[in-house]
């Protein structure tokens, strides 16, 4: 089965970053100039290597958010990355 950007995007949206990254890399093997895949690999590689611990903390924060204030704090964090 041929991997697609859509498939990788779905994995990424579900929080399955490693799986999405592998799909994007496979896409680049067949189409090295695919700008969507290039951008995604850069984005996911950066998040994974530079913010791994912070992402775990924010994931826990996201799962346990209860107030509008916490939701806004999470939105501000997303904008920063």
Two tokens, residue 58: 């924010």
Is 76 found in the same domain as 59? Answer: yes
Is 70 found in the same domain as 42? Answer: no
Residue with tokens 């704090």: 73
* Domain containing residue 74: 52-81
What pLDDT does residue 53 have?
Answer: 60
**What pLDDT, in 10s, does the model give residues 31-74?**
999 999 999 998 888 754 445 565 677 777 788 888 999 888 88
What pLDDT does residue 21 have?
Answer: 93
Is 9 found in the same domain as 37? Answer: yes
What pLDDT does residue 36 have?
Answer: 92
Give the whole-angstrom CA distance, residue 22 versus residue 15. 13
**What pLDDT, in 10s, does the model give residues 18-30?**
999 999 999 999 9
CB 70 within 8 A of CB 61: yes
Alpha-helical runs (H) found in 1-81: 5-13, 17-30, 35-50, 52-63, 68-80
Two tokens, residue 72: 């806004």
Is 32 found in the same domain as 2? Answer: yes
């Amino acid at each position: 089965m041929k991997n697609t950007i859509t498939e990788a995007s779905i994995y990424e949206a579900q929080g399955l970053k490693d799986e999405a990254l592998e799909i994007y890399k496979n896409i680049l093997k067949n189409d090295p100039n695919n700008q969507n895949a290039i951008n995604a690999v850069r984005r996911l590689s950066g998040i994974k290597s530079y913010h791994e611990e912070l992402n775990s903390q924010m994931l826990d924060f996201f799962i346990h958010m209860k107030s509008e204030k916490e939701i806004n704090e999470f939105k501000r964090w997303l904008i920063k990355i």
